[in-house]
Structure 1
Amino acid sequence: MPRLPLPPAPTIRPAARLSAALLPAALLSALLLSAAAAAEAPARGPTVSEVIAAAAPDDWRGIDPDSTLVMELASGPVILELAPALAPQHVANIRALVREGYFDGLTVVRVQDNYVAQWGDPEEEDGSGSRPIRTAKAALPPEFVVRDGAALRFDAIPGPDAYAPETGFVGGFPAARNPRTGEVWGAHCYGTVGVSRGDPDSGSGAGLYAVIGHAPRHLDRNITVVGRVLEGIERLSSLPRGTGRLGFYETAAERAPILRVRLVADMPAAEQPALQVLKTGTPTWDAYVDARRNRRDPWFVEPAGAADVCNTLPPVRRAP
């Protein structure tokens, strides 16, 4: 086999020798410019986990024992915090219902995939309750919107929203408002708790639901929002889906029983859950929202640069 000729050796001209000689100096200059640019660039902000880890004790608030419920299922407790600022009449009625033992022995009546889990009286499809109500009210006027929202502290978050002129938090609960009218209302995010109803005046709190899917914000201003699940939402979201219309269970055997519901204020001190929620409207909160909007974790390639109200829910922790 004939041997292939070798290519001629490259010729280094004087200009090439000059560039090669200057290469170390050029590289040093580039490094110096890069360092100067880095010094002028803003420091990298903290990640979400770093913000939470650095939060001071005063950045956290305790839960109100008179506005927190523990609903015991066979799988364990679901802890719900009520929002009297958004629906004072319904929250007061729910307290009365709990204290008279209304929910004890009832069931989860409906679990609709990517939507809600609803509980109340299984004999009433809408969960409004045919079981006798002794001390609470059987029906209340709707509290879909707080008309005098200017009286509430509203901690807004930046960015547009598809459903409201402005969004933010009232007492740690996701909310929206219209600055022009002064109206404020609860936002339907994952874990939001609302009052089931038929016609607008049929809700009382005897039937409740929790959002277990993508935020159904189209429900805002159409249903009374009374709070959110702080812990144990997985015990509702993991329940079998109902096979009936709108996810209602068709047989008693399908329904998850509610063992009992108690107000934390009425529980023995040793049994009370010691939960804390990150306060809104503080420098730490601002850093948390910024970190949620601009994810700086190494895994992220392109941070979104935005986050809606349902993506900035205040973290919850067990008290240290």
Structure 2
Amino acid sequence: MSMLAALLAALPLPMVQAQPEAPPPQSPGEIVAAAPLSEWRSIEARDLLVIDLAPAGRGKQRRVVIQLVPAPYSTGWVDNIRRLASAHWWDGTAVVRVQDNYVVQWGDPTEKKPLPAGIRSVPESAYVTPLDAIGATQPTIEGRDLSERAGQAARLSEIAIRDTVTPRAPQGWHERDSYAEWVELIGGWPIAVSGDAATIPHCYGMVGVGRNLSPDTGSGAELYAVIGQAPRHLDRNIAIVGRVVAGMEHLSGLTRGTGDLGFYKRASERTPIVRVRLASELPARERPRFEYLSTEGEAFARYVAERANRRDAFFNVPAGGVDICNLPVPVRAVAP
């Protein structure tokens, strides 16, 4: 070995600086859990419909809480529902229908109970809401450009929604929908847009108004909740008036009806409804309180992006898109 080689061999090796490991990608649930308090929005007590079903075995209480849709969606039916609740009309009615992978429906089994004064008929045109009316309640929305959320999510997430763009869906997942031209989440609610009007889609847990054949649109006295795969073919054909935010298990777990369309054949099979009230009518100590994650905030944009492109440890292949009904707006109960 030459003297130079020996000298080089004796020199200490340069220190290699260890690179810090990148933190693992957050799951959608972790993003929601870490969302700052500033991005949560309270749900007003007057917008919560509280349903107390007859207790289950061993006296277990069963309470279902529904958040009513805000204006401008389904306003006529929601006004009727507030009147029905204020009149205590549903007290003593029952769950009359449970159809597997479809809906749970409740109301007056006799269909003869008089409705309270002030209940009005709502036209079929109100099944959809003009985009101009939605823009009026959302000052940040300009005309039809509700799909701006795609660009925001792209800026705020490492996996950009732009990665879901295709020639047929230039706005990414927003234009990949079998039942509408495009979909979005605005003001805490999903919407499906066709032409210049929008409707709230029939996703799991959504609550709609039962009706007979057209031109009947239902009064709001007969309601149903979706308990199966989203029946989106009902969009624009029935009014959506709310979503279940608590107690869904008390509806989806009911025994299925054996009659046509899941109606119960015998009165003994029905689940009685003890009481229905707006939360604002309950004593303060009994009022349920909830808040939802703002759909206009940074945390929600990241939540959408991760739903479209799952990167947490369980997933090997990101989907590159997401169905509107697989983007439930996070809602949580809060202490009084």
Q: TM-score range by the shorter chain?
A: 0.7 to 0.9
Indicate which of 157, 171, 185 corresponds to 2:199. 185
The separation in 2 between residues aligned to 1:200 and 1:172, in whole angstroms, is 30
Over 3 Å counting, the alpha-carbon distance change for 1:260 and 1:175 in structure 2 is same
For structure 2, the residue ranges without an aligned partner over 5 or more in a row are 1-15, 56-61, 139-145, 151-171
Match for 2:299: what amino acid?
T
Deviation at 1:54, TM superposition (A): 1.3
Is contact 2:187–2:296 with CA below 8 Å preserved after alignment?
Answer: no
Aligned to 2:134: 151
Over 3 Å counting, the alpha-carbon distance change for 1:200 and 1:171 in structure 2 is farther
Q: Deviations over 1:15-34 (max 9, x none)?
A: xxxxxxxxxxxxxxxxx9xx
Match for 1:137: what amino acid?
I
Match for 2:51: what amino acid?
M
1:121 paired with 2:101, answer no
The separation in 1 between residues aligned to 2:321 and 2:24, in whole angstroms, is 17
> What SS does structure 1 have at the residue aligned with 2:299?
helix
The separation in 1 between residues aligned to 2:311 and 2:286, in whole angstroms, is 39
Is contact 2:203–2:231 with CA below 8 Å preserved after alignment?
Answer: yes
Indicate which of 14, 26, 46 corresponds to 1:66. 46
Deviation at 1:65, TM superposition (A): 1.2
The separation in 2 between residues aligned to 1:58 and 1:302, in whole angstroms, is 33
Over 3 Å counting, the alpha-carbon distance change for 1:139 and 1:201 in structure 2 is farther
Indicate which of 63, 86, 89 corresponds to 1:77. 63
The separation in 1 between residues aligned to 2:119 and 2:127, in whole angstroms, is 18
TM, length-normalised to structure 1? 0.81
Deviation at 1:275, TM superposition (A): 1.1
1:131 paired with 2:113, answer yes
Deviation at 1:200, TM superposition (A): 3.3
> What SS does structure 2 have at the residue aligned with 1:49?
helix
Aligned to 1:100: 87
1:276 paired with 2:291, answer yes
The separation in 1 between residues aligned to 2:264 and 2:187, in whole angstroms, is 35
Give runs of aligned pairs for residues 286-305 of structure 1, distance below 5 A.
286-305=301-320
Aligned to 2:228: 213
Aligned to 1:244: 259
Deviation at 1:239, TM superposition (A): 0.3
Deviation at 1:121, TM superposition (A): 1.1
For structure 1, the residue ranges without an aligned partner over 5 or more in a row are 1-31, 125-129
Deviation at 1:262, TM superposition (A): 0.4
Is contact 1:279–1:285 with CA below 8 Å preserved after alignment?
Answer: yes
> What SS does structure 1 have at the residue aligned with 2:130?
coil
Indicate which of 179, 184, 189 corresponds to 1:168. 184
Deviation at 1:284, TM superposition (A): 0.8
Q: Which has the higher contact order (CA 8 A, sep 6+)?
A: 2
Is contact 1:173–1:228 with CA below 8 Å preserved after alignment?
Answer: no
Deviation at 1:63, TM superposition (A): 0.8
Aligned to 1:141: 123
TM, length-normalised to structure 2? 0.77
Indicate which of 213, 229, 236 corresponds to 1:199. 213
The separation in 1 between residues aligned to 2:39 and 2:222, in whole angstroms, is 34
> What SS does structure 1 have at the residue aligned with 2:322?
coil
Identity among equivalent positions (%) equals: 45
Aligned length in residues: 278
Q: CA RMSD in A?
A: 2.3
Is contact 1:277–1:316 with CA below 8 Å preserved after alignment?
Answer: yes
Deviation at 1:312, TM superposition (A): 0.6
